[in-house]
């Protein structure tokens, strides 16, 4: 079957891009005799550096309009209404989220079925005219609306009356082999200390990621586990404010900002960690759609701590692969981390369970679920 894939990005460093690139890689590696795809990206992505590293360059078409946070600008809306993105007629269009779901509807011309994958992150555009009107129509005409987590799907259902028969959940996946493979992390022991109890967190340094909650929890953690450290990987607008919290709490010897880490080195940080933790929060319509990093830590055999926020409960099985705490719960976060540090058997068991759960989410398995979904709408 021939599938047109619409996405804002194929850069693995962001959520949309990770889903896009990993699925396309899986289709080529495991299912090239079943599905043939063309990837459609915004014109603005054409000269991005990451494009050169993709293994499916020949299948990319830069024909989508510029990303739009809202359609309140008439000129921006008109660029989507023109259509003309498709270079050949597919059997089905698979589109990731806002705003290209609207582009998929326009390009389908009511003749080609299209399915929408909701990755989450934000739903602000659905609150105002004309976005809410346009997307109500987009959802109504879709053949299927699937989401990477229950919370993400529920968020869409709250906004629109969507036929239950159109709804399904397909979790995000994980590059299991990459994070499960043994890796040398002695350079991290040399950098941070050989006998430290290491917590690692990965993500953009912005409010909804909840790094400030873990930093504040470290004050209590360090009283019980003096050699505990928290290594934060990522960059963002909140870096200075987070550093201020560290300074105010006098945690300079326990909390470290690693900045951006190369793709080659990232697995080493998971293996260096004793536990993975960041605790997202819902902030003005923005939320954690799923949390692939929890599966990456699981693939490395590590227990995880996260919050009951957004799609995180789909990525962490509470009490089995890790521990869930309430949003903004500094004390609860501290207790969860201390519990894992002080119970080696629990930590080991959670790590083992996390590894199994991550293995179930290999992109090969996720891609197969999407292909099965495609088959229900493609006339053979």
Cβ burial of 78 (10 Å; 0-12, 13-18, 19+) is: exposed
Name residue 309's beta-bridge partners.
Answer: none
Could you tell me the domains of the chain? Answer: 2-173+362-375 (3.40.50.2000), 176-359 (3.40.50.2000)
* pLDDT greater than 80 at residue 127: no
Whether the pLDDT of residue 12 is over 90: the answer is no
Residues in a beta bridge with 40: 6, 61
pLDDT at 135: 86
Q: State pLDDT tens for residues 197-247.
A: 999 999 999 999 999 999 999 999 999 999 999 999 999 999 999 999 999
Look at the block and give the residue holding tokens 């993975």: 276
DSSP annotation string for 99-164: THHHHHHHHHTTTS-EEEEE--SB-GGGGSTTHHHHHHHHHHH-SEEEESSHHHHHHHHHHS---G
Q: What are phi and psi of 343, to 5 degrees?
A: -120, 90
Question: How confident is the model over 292-351, as pLDDT tens digits?
Answer: 999 999 999 999 999 999 999 999 999 999 999 999 999 999 999 999 999 999 999 999
* pLDDT tops 90 at residue 75: no
Once rounded to an integer, what is the mean pLDDT over residues 167-187? 96
The DSSP H or E segment spanning 183 is: none
pLDDT above 90 covers what percent of the chain?
Answer: 84
Distance of CA 150 to the CA centre of its chain: 14
The phi and psi torsions of 353 (rounded to 5 degrees) equal -65, -40
Over residues 250-258, mean pLDDT: 98
pLDDT at position 124: 64
Residue 120 has pLDDT above 80, yes or no: no
Provide the mean pLDDT of the chain. 94
pLDDT band at 9 (very low <50, low <70, confident <90, very high): very high
Bigger pLDDT: 76 vs 361: 361
Q: Which of 9-13, 114-118, 242-246 has the lowest mean pLDDT?
A: 9-13
Integer CA distances (angstroms), 237 to 158, 207, 234, in order:
31, 9, 11
Place of tokens 């969507």: 162
Q: Which residue has the higher pLDDT, 43 or 284?
A: 43
Percent of the chain with pLDDT over 70: 98
DSSP state letter for 287:
-
Predicted pLDDT at 122: 65
Report the DSSP beta bridge partners of residue 228. 197
**125 pLDDT band (50/70/90 cuts)?**
low
Residue 79 pLDDT: 93
Tokens read off for 380: 């053979």
Among left, alpha and beta (phi > 0; psi -120 to 50; other), residue 299 is alpha
């Amino acid at each position: 079957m021939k599938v047109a894939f619409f996405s804002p990005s194929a850069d693995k460093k962001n959520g949309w891009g990770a889903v896009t690139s990993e699925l396309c890689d899986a289709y080529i590696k495991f299912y090239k005799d079943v599905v043939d795809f063309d990837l459609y990206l915004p014109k603005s992505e054409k000269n991005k550096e990451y494009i050169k590293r993709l293994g499916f360059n020949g299948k990319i078409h830069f024909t989508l309009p510029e990303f739009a946070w809202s359609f309140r600008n008439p000129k921006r809306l008109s660029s989507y209404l023109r259509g003309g993105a498709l270079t050949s007629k597919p059997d089905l269009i698979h589109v990731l989220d806002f705003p290209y779901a609207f582009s998929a509807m326009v390009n389908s011309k009511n003749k080609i079925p299209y399915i929408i994958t909701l990755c989450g992150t934000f739903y602000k555009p659905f609150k105002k005219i004309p976005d809410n009107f346009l997307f109500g129509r987009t959802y109504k005409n879709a053949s299927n609306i699937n989401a990477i987590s229950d919370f993400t799907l529920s968020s869409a259902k709250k906004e629109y009356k969507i036929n239950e028969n159109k709804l399904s959940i397909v979790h995000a996946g994980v590059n299991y082999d990459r994070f499960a493979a043994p890796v040398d992390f002695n350079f991290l022991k040399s950098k941070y200390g050989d006998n430290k109890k290491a917590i690692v967190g990965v993500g953009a340094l912005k409010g909804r990621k909840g790094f400030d909650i873990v930093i504040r929890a470290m004050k209590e953690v360090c009283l019980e586990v003096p050699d505990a450290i928290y290594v934060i990987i990522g960059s963002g607008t909140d870096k200075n404010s987070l550093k201020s919290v560290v300074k105010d709490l006098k945690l300079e010897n326990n909390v470290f900002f690693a900045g951006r880490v190369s793709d080659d080195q990232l697995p080493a940080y998971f293996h260096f960690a004793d536990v993975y933790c960041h605790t997202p929060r819902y902030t003005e319509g923005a939320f954690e759609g799923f949390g692939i990093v929890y599966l990456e830590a699981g693939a490395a055999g590590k227990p995880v701590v996260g919050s009951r926020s957004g799609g995180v409960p789909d990525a962490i099985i509470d009490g089995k692969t890790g521990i869930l705490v309430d949003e903004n719960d500094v004390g609860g976060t501290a207790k969860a981390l201390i519990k894992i540090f002080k119970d080696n058997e629990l930590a080991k068991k959670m790590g083992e369970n996390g590894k199994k759960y991550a293995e179930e989410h290999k992109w090969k398995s996720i891609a197969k679920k999407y292909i099965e979904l495609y088959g229900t709408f493609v006339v053979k």
